[in-house]
Amino acid sequence: MSRIGKQPIAVPSGVDVKIGTDVVEVKGPKGTMSTPVCSLLKYELADGQVVITRLEETRQSRAQHGLRRTLLANCIEGVTKGFSKSLEVIGVGYRVAVKGNMVELSVGYSHPVIVELPEGIKASAEGQVLTLTGVSKELVGEMAAKIRRIRKPEPYKGKGIKYTTETIRRKVGKSGGKK
């Protein structure tokens, strides 16, 4: 039995879960999300908990069991608390600014890089730290990765865009004067 899949998902008050034939819809205070239903699994909503069980013991159903439970748990957590990722812009003259649903980055190129945020993602900038928030864990993580890809942190001076939790392994530069 899957250690993750067999755990029940607690549904907090104020969250409405509707199990359909194709999708599971989750409505909460922060918004609405849906995740697809797997035909190899059985979804049950009873006394404030969602339990997912396998209909058959095949390799495919075992693979889907933990995945679908985690996706549904992320939907429930997203509509109640939301998800956030913080990025840090490090470098002399490097700046970040949020203008509506656009993020403007000045990170050493000849022009500022403008990133348009998809619907459902909000950004806020405090000094050199950019925080992305939203209900979808997947969308928040993907946008944070796209923004980080614009100027990855380099190992010699540590300049670039990095996650606040990330540590950059530094390298020693050239040693001059040897013959």
- One DSSP character per residue, 129-178 reads EEEEEES-HHHHHHHHHHHHHHSPPPTTT--EEEETT-----------S-
Q: Give the integer Cα–Cα distance in Å for 49 and 45.
A: 6
- The full set of domains in the chain, from first to last, is 9-80 (3.90.930.12), 83-163 (3.90.930.12)
pLDDT (tens, 9 = 90+) of the chain, 179 residues, equals 568 888 999 999 999 999 999 999 999 999 999 999 999 999 999 888 999 999 999 999 999 999 999 999 999 999 999 999 999 999 999 999 999 999 999 999 999 999 999 999 999 999 999 999 999 999 999 999 999 999 999 999 989 999 999 999 999 888 765 65
44-94 pLDDT, tens digit per residue, is 998 889 999 999 999 999 999 999 999 999 999 999 999 999 999 999 999
